[in-house]
Chain A
Amino acid sequence: MINRRKFLVKSATALAITFVVPSIISNKAHAKKPLAEKVSDKQSWGIHIDTSKCIDGCTACVDACNEENGLTGFGRPETDSQWIRKVTVKSNTTDKITTMPLMCQHCENPPCCDVCPTGASFKRIDGIVMVNQHTCIGCRYCMMACPFKARSFVHETLTQQNTNAPRGKGCVESCNLCVNRIDHGSETTACEDACNNLGHSAITFGDLNDKNSKISLAMNSNNPRRLRNDLNLDQKVFYSNI
């Protein structure tokens, strides 16, 4: 005879065995692609920004990035981390005003990786430039070297960081193209999602190697350019209509 209490205990145990245990023993339970799959150079991740669609005053991409990576500031803008920021520029020749997000440009030849003494700044073979938080010694030489001021140094003690974005006091950090999402099989970044959700669609993320990807199609029709092309860094972030 099974009573109500035994029934509830057995049911909970069965549910746990079915759903909870696999997710504990395997961290790829929710991934579209298995995490164990090696990063490959078949993909070359990049971002295209159509500045004509970027709205002045909108900070949806910045807010989404902050939330995704747990970038809660301390009310000190000079030392708080900014992985992505909005800038507004005026053409010196036509006076045209353009607003756009600016973040790590994920260079093919990244100066930050060249100067990093320990190799903590590195470029993955799929083009993502990021910082190994375990070997960064906090010398800030990469920040001196970056032509886009894309990096931030963590100036204060952090608590309750997001598990998908390891961060720590005394290390340097920057946009990593939502690498945790990508490695779990996602095909969008937080900034792109936020921009699309508002219907602006100024940010397009995708695989530059795939000629039919949304980024390749967006680039084909928008005559994109890189910032500071004179430095020959071959960035993976492109801008149109500046």
Chain B
Amino acid sequence: MNYTLEKLKTCRYLYWGTFLFLGFLVLLGLASSAYMEHEGHYVTGMNNQIVWGLPHIFAVTLIVIASGVLNIASMSSAFDKKLYKPLAPLSALFAIAFLVSGLIILVLDLGRPDRLIVAMTTYNFKSIFAWNIFLYSGFFVILSIYIWTMLDFNVSKFSSVVGKLAFGWRIILTTGTGSIFGFLVAREAYSTAVLAPLFIIMSLLYGTAVFYLLLRIISKMQNITIPSEITVNIRKLIIIFLLANIYFLILYHITNLYISKQIAIEKFILLDGGGYTTMFWLGQVGFGLLIPLFFELTNKDNRDFPLTLTSIMVIVGGFFAVAVIIIGGQAFPLNIFPDHTIIESSFFDNNIHGYTPSIYEFGLGIGGTSLALIIILILITNLKFIPAKK
């Protein structure tokens, strides 16, 4: 295919309108974070029971998406599918933008974000968190080089090699993200290796959905049409990833149900966890997996609208999926006395922990997400990322 890469050529008002709107949200996120840090985390919904909250849901979702949006570039470089080559730079750009925004949310939620330099210079190599710091910064460097090799003709011969490296790195990176939870032996909802492949398949699904949505928006702004082969293939990919996601989700829960000591947490998530059960069945499973699957299986003529709707639902469902994992896993009380029932405790040991996120956490999450979008907007306006026919 003969193609060239162009800058975004949308009307000035649309560009500045979008820029100012996203910029405002980014500032709102920064203000939320500054307020949380100045006052202390008591102003958030997080506490000593639910220690990770809405900012972590946003951050993990964005980092998972960052790995997943690279699918399109990986298919071009790692699997040599020529169809996707024109879209590969855009795919790598999305990955870097979502990675940066996810990490910034994580950092701004730290109790001591001013000690970032400590986190970057003092490592405990037994910690998967420390390994993730390497994986994330390595991914950033590899993606930057990858984009360079794709945009600069002089070094383009290296793009395939760097692309393959990026593909391998992203698989390890998402394994690392899943392992943050998988390595927590104390909590029944976690402590399983299945979480690592589950996170990988989640990243493939959410990333593909995000890529398609952003491609749709950019093509509208640029007034270009997405080639039908791309739509057909993305639809097929989403169906495969939806089925794989359902498979790993069933595997995760069946495994837990088979282990007697895990039955209580399964009962909590699947049956009597109140809001968490609702989030699981309606949000994660219904809205995020089954309805999109139905839409796409019936979308035999590959229409854009159902695919767009599917992508939106997958992303919203993905957000619920991460929420169920992060909040649901903490809400269930720790089993400190396995053959006893705690009847009294000043530290809420015998309670299902509730969590109501504050406006500041929401502000930080939305601000971070907007940061990803504004990075993309600025870069596609100033550098040539968008494919066009010669």
Inter-chain contact A77/B342, CB cutoff 8 Å? no
A138 to B129, CA, bound (A): 13
Q: Which residues of A contact B347 (CB under 8 A)?
A: 82, 85, 87, 102, 149
Mask of B168-190 contacts with A, CB within 8 angstroms, 1/0: 00000000000010011111000
Q: Which residues of A contact B110 (CB under 8 A)?
A: 137-139, 170
- Dominant secondary structure at the A interface: loop
Mask of A48-90 contacts with B, CB within 8 angstroms, 1/0: 0000000000000010000000000010111111100111111
Residue B304 CB within 8 A of the other chain: no
Inter-chain contact B341/A89, CB cutoff 8 Å? yes
Inter-chain contact A111/B186, CB cutoff 8 Å? yes
Q: Which residues of A contact B119 (CB under 8 A)?
A: 117-118, 137, 139
A85 to B345, CA, bound (A): 7
Residue B83 CB within 8 A of the other chain: no
Closest to B330 in A: A144
Q: Which residues of A contact B186 (CB under 8 A)?
A: 111, 144-147, 231
Inter-chain contact B185/A137, CB cutoff 8 Å? no
Shortest Cβ gap from A157 to chain B (Å): 6
Inter-chain contact B124/A118, CB cutoff 8 Å? yes
Selected from B48, B122, B348, the residue in CB contact (under 8 A) with A152 is: B48
Mask of B325-337 contacts with A, CB within 8 angstroms, 1/0: 0000010001111
Inter-chain contact A88/B185, CB cutoff 8 Å? no
The answer to whether residues A117 and B111 also contact, given A92-B339, A169-B40 and a CB cut-off of 8 A, is: no
Residue A153 CB within 8 A of the other chain: yes
Selected from A78, A87, A136, A147, the residue in CB contact (under 8 A) with B48 is: A78
A96 to B338, CA, bound (A): 14
Inter-chain contact A89/B343, CB cutoff 8 Å? yes
Selected from A85, A115, A146, A230, the residue in CB contact (under 8 A) with B346 is: A85
Residue A143 CB within 8 A of the other chain: yes
Closest to B132 in A: A117
Q: Which residues of A contact B330 (CB under 8 A)?
A: 144
A165 to B75, CA, bound (A): 56
Q: Which residues of B contact A181 (CB under 8 A)?
A: none
Shortest Cβ gap from A151 to chain B (Å): 8
Q: Which residues of A contact B154 (CB under 8 A)?
A: none
Shortest Cβ gap from A215 to chain B (Å): 22
Inter-chain contact A140/B47, CB cutoff 8 Å? no
Q: Which residues of B contact A156 (CB under 8 A)?
A: 39-40, 42
A199 to B347, CA, bound (A): 26
Shortest Cβ gap from B104 to chain A (Å): 14
Q: Top 3 A-B pairs ranked by shortest CB distance?
A: A138-B111, A170-B111, A147-B186
Interface residues of A (CB under 8 A from B): 62, 74, 76-82, 85-93, 97-99, 102, 111, 113-119, 135-141, 143-149, 151-157, 169-172, 227-228, 230-231, 242
Beyond A78-B49, A102-B345, 14 additional pairs, beta carbon < 8 A: A77-B348, A78-B348, A99-B344, A117-B124, A137-B113, A139-B110, A144-B330, A145-B185, A147-B334, A149-B49, A149-B349, A152-B48, A170-B37, A170-B40
